[in-house]
Amino acid sequence: MSRKYFGTDGIRGRVGTGPITPEFVLKLGWAVGKVFAKEDSKERNLVIIGKDTRISGYMFESALQAGLIAAGVDVGLLGPMPTPAIAYLTRTFHAQAGIVISASHNPYDDNGIKFFSGEGTKLPDEVEIEIEAQLEQSMTTVESSQLGKATRIDDAGGRYIEFCKSTVPSTISLKGLKIVVDCANGATYHVAPSVFRELGADVVTLGASPDGLNINLDCGSTSPKALRSGVIENEADLGFAFDGDGDRLIAVDHTGSEIDGDEMLYIIAKHQLKMRGRCDGVVGTLMSNLGFELALANLDIPFVRAKVGDRYVMAAMQERGWTLGGESSGHIVCSDVTTTGDGIISALQILYASSASGLSLAQLRQGVEKFPQSMINVKMKRRVSLDDNQTVQDKITEVESTLKEKGRVLLRPSGTEPVVRVMVEGEDKALVEQLAKELAAVVEQALA
């Protein structure tokens, strides 16, 4: 059954434009409450809500809260917290579900609602379909004696900080390290610096003054220029940049060179191989660099590609019983220590590898020779199937023929933005960029 509202990562859009309106979110809260409420349970039903730092978060938090209470569900309010923290706290509070109000790496005037199950994992498709079906019903309110209650959870930040620290051995110390941390003026601003400081690091903080409008603005993992400058200016050992909701990570070594999700996955996989004697395998995506795949092959570590999106990466990991996967954008899942992508925990895994090996980040990344890759976002003025467009398919065939066996072509509609991502990868950078521009022009014409 197709879904009307849910995309690859919850429900997302421009604030004030359907479905991201107070009216819809009110009913969404009610629908979620009806789906998760256990009417035959003697215990109160609980759903916890967290958010990033967008100004619209307050409005949607109130709307969700009202809808859930009307359905007879208690609400735990976390305030601004990273998305993975909400997954963790949903488990520890034994809540029926966790709700995140965030549009991740998007600008402040977008927002979204995404969900975690009581196990701290993304909702199964059938539950999302059940919520959408409930949205088609008329909203009702339970008897006054059955209304839910709202409670603010004041120690959420401290609980999550301790959990993050527990995911690496207690013998690990970051004393002597200077780390620059860019929080994207987002949800990690009050927890990420504390994690690294409490482990002994000298921390220089950037992007930790959210005002509701500056989330992801010229900072964070989608704009790492500030991080690179901060590492060099402060003569730091390395730096980490998170996105607005804290589930993505980009790193920078002491020279200011950027290290993306593919390279970080390689570092973690190689570390697992050294410490445990094996790494069962790594799940990447269609966007993962071919050079990364070849580097894993050199270590005899299996690799498979999933569709882009953390739910697809997780599904492929679970299918194979593997514990490591992620995306080149920096969304990394280490399911042996947590249930979802977590930027802070991924950073700690990198620091664990560095501490255990005695190698710098620049040294740890050696072994991956990335192929030049060019990606162009083409705006979708109208939704059409490019698979059925002969002109586009002929151009893809032409580009693939030019690349021969030493490159890849990918066209992918974004799950979070109205764009088609045109990606070309190959050995020759100039040729890759030229072919990407040519293909993007044909796609743009097809979408006009």
Tell me how far CA of residue 431 lies from CA of 24, 78, 426, 428, in angstroms.
47, 49, 8, 5
Alpha-carbon distance 137 to 140, whole Å?
9
Q: Where are the beta strands (DSSP E) in 207-280?
A: 238-242, 249-253, 258-259
Alpha-carbon dihedral 152, 36, 110, 183, rounded to 10 degrees = 50
CB distance 256 to 228 below 8 Å:
yes
Cis-peptide, bond into residue 80, ω within 30° of zero: no
Burial class (CB in 10 A: 0-12, 13-18, 19+), 297: exposed
Q: Which of 104, 346, 354, 374 is catalytic?
A: 104
Active site (annotated) includes residue 209? no
CB distance 181 to 203 below 8 Å:
yes
Alpha-carbon distance 237 to 256, whole Å?
10
Alpha-carbon distance 347 to 366, whole Å?
18
Place of tokens 């920078």: 252
Cα-to-chain-centroid distance, residue 166: 21
261-276 and 290-298 helices cross at what angle (nearest 10)?
10
Residue 428 carries which side chain, given as an amino acid letter? D
Alpha-carbon dihedral 22, 28, 32, 37, rounded to 10 degrees = 70
Tokens of 367: 């072994």
Alpha-carbon distance 444 to 409, whole Å?
16
**DSSP conformational letter for 386:** G
216 has which bridge partners? none
The helix (H) or strand (E) run that includes residue 355 is helix 343-357
* 3-class SS of residue 305: strand
* 3-class SS of residue 81: coil
Q: Where are the beta strands (DSSP E) in 74-109?
A: 74-80, 97-101
User: Which positions are catalytic?
Assistant: 104
